[in-house]
Structure 1
Amino acid sequence: MAVLSPESIDNLKATKVIGIIGLGDMGLLYANRFTQAGWTVCGCDREEIYPSLLKQNFPFEVLPNGHYVSRKSDYIIYSVEAENIDTIVKIYGPSTKVGAIVGGQTSCKFPEISAFEKHLPKDISIISVHSLHGPKVDTTGQPLVLIPHRCSNENFDFVESLMSCLKSKHVKLSYQEHDRITADTQAVTHAAFLSMGVAWHQHQQYPWETPKWIGGLENAKINISLRIYSNKFHVYAGLAITNPSAHEQILQYADSCNDLFTLMIQNKKKEFKERVLHAKEKVFGHLKQDHKLLLDDDVLQQYSLIGLV
């Protein structure tokens, strides 16, 4: 994938307008970074909070609603929750500027692409994106998925050049590949860490208050759990609930948790141990001779709970 020359990008900056529908945490991150890079940016959020947004003196133009953004923008990014994407595209999609490009920032692409195909005019190109990190993370070197669903090479080069200001690591995928990989790598993982937090809350025993959880690996798990809980719920709803590829994994996770709990209350220690070790062999068996994919114990010991509370 080749980014356009500096001269070509300067020409685009002089003629193209970037629109952001949804000025939440990630929408603001994109709007501010694009503006800092010299692009002309406009954005909007819910119409009832338009007056309060105007008072915040953002470095880009704030408009009353998505109709205004869609009419004047050459690339429109819907930065909204996956569960609301269809409703919002249905409202603002018909106002999209002729010949524009539309994309989304949701963590699940199936409902997003479906909404675009259903509600956008047929002459509109579709190029979606997904930064695989939260809004408080430096975008430099982070993975950024680009999804050229319906577009010309010229339009894709434009979007990729725009995204280059984030200094992220670009990955080109179809929306089906994106959702499958997201489900395989994040859905069940996040469900497990969320379950840990629920268990701590139910027992009123928190890892920073008891010596029960000690060591680098435990500290790493606790840090990840707390990081997930510090983000907004809709991100994980998008990963697990609206992603069809995640359903099988989530259901199997629930079944496995139920089976293991049943073995515990039945005091079947042998069967419990055999099942856990079988899972270990299934996942990590191929690493018996080569541990390069596993974190070194010395690295794990660097994780601590200092400063978390």
Structure 2
Amino acid sequence: MVLSFLKTVKSRIPTDLAPDVSRPTVGIIGGLGRMGRWFAKFFQDAGFPVLISDMQTELRPEDLARQCQVIILSLPMQVFPKVVAKLGPIIPENSFLTDLCSLKQSQVACMLECACCEIAGTHPLFGPVEKSMKGRRVALCKGRGKRWFTWWEGLLRKHGAVTSVVSPEEHDRTMAWTQALNHFILLCLGKAMDDHGIDPKQIMALATPSFEQQMEILARLYHQDPELYATIQMSNPYTDGVLETFSQHGANLRKIIKERDRKAFIELFEEVQDLGHTVLLSKKNYVDSR
């Protein structure tokens, strides 16, 4: 399967291709991973020549970096600094380097320190199960340079992506809520159900629509990489603060319920209702702006 995939990539690479900003050669380091494959296919379908380097390929990352104008790092965050430190000095100044990591502060800083080319951070806010870029969110963090960043954002938008440009710090602060806390809640829910011996068939038979949605999201964990989820939880510097805040409010709500403090419960509920209304308005504005 790997050899077949590589042959497909190689067959689409013109042998006489000259460097071209409008149609650059794209290199994906870690291109045999799930997201690496996804983006390799994305670029192939868009008509770009693609080179791939991975542990199973003959093409080394160093050689790829010298041959490609656009270099995408689809790497586990644990090995990211070591790989970038090795490749950075090799990458030509007129090239473009970006990554697909779930965190951005340390990744963008690492690329800026090790390489002299144009740099941006990219976080696709979707997984490799998606069939296209259309309607999917992508976070972009500016690093160095404008020419390639403009090209990259334009390409993503052309293919239907909804891009948001944020600072690396703002990105990671937000990910502590949308990823780390979200995963934390799912893991706690799943573990609690498992420890209590809940029968999935029975609970699905009696599930409300909102709980059924939660169960569907929980079920997606079956296809996810626990190593990646562990890294997201433990590498984001803002996760501890978010989980501490969440735990405090959980303990407070538990106390309110235990003491049967109906007035305090309703006050808390109404506060969250106000937030819910704001979320609905924000979602509407977001949809209208697309």
TM-score range for the pair, normalised by the shorter chain length: 0.7 to 0.9
Contact 1:72 1:97 in 2 (8 A): no
Q: 1:154 to 1:117 in 2, by over 3 A?
A: closer
Between the two proteins, the alignment pairs up a number of residues equal to 263
Query: Which blocks of at least 5 consecutive residues in structure 1 are unaligned?
Result: 1-9, 51-62, 296-309
**Higher RCO, Cα 8 Å, sep 6+:** 1
* Gaps in structure 2 of 5+ consecutive residues: 1-18, 284-290
Per-residue deviation, residues 142-200 of structure 1 (Å, max 9, x unmatched) = 1112222111x322222223434542112222212222222233321221012111222
Distance in 2 of aligned mates of 1:195 and 1:188: 10
**Which of 214, 224, 230 lines up with 1:221 in the alignment?**
214
* C-alpha contact (below 8 Å) 2:27/2:64 kept by paired residues: yes
Give the root-mean-square deviation of aligned CA atoms. Answer: 3.1
**Match for residue 65 of structure 1?**
60
Q: Distance in 1 between matches of 2:118 and 2:211?
A: 46
From 93, 97, 113, the equivalent of 1:102 is 97
Cα 1:206–1:111 change in 2 (3 A) is farther
Q: If the length of structure 1 is used for normalisation, what is the TM-score?
A: 0.73
Q: Aligned pair 1:44/2:53, yes or no?
A: yes
Q: Does 1:285 align with 2:274?
A: yes
Alignment partner of 2:29 out of 18, 21, 32: 21
Letter in 1 for 2:29: I
- 2:173·2:238 contact (CA, 8 Å) conserved in 1? yes
Output one character per residue of 1:244-291: Cα deviation in whole Å (capped at 9) or x when no partner. 233211233345556667x59xx93425x6776554333223557x89
Q: CA deviation at 1:220?
A: 0.8
Identity of aligned residues (%): 23
d(CA) in 1 for partners of 2:40, 2:109 = 25
Of residues 138, 141, 144, the one that matches 2:135 is 141
Distance 1:192 1:127, change over 3 A: same
How far off its partner does 1:84 sit? 2.6
Distance 2:80 2:113 in 1: 12
Encode CA deviations 1:42-80: one digit per residue, 9 max, x unaligned.
11122xx23xxxxxxxxxxxx533112211111111111
Equivalent residue for 1:247, pick from 236, 240, 256: 240
- SS of the aligned residue for 1:270 comes to coil
CA distance in 2, matches of 1:107, 1:275: 38
> Do residues 202 (structure 1) and 195 (structure 2) align?
yes
Return the TM-score normalized by structure 2. 0.78
Change (3 A) 1:44 1:258: farther
2:271 alignment partner AA: K
CA distance in 1 between counterparts of 2:251 and 2:82 reads 36
AA matched with 1:41: V
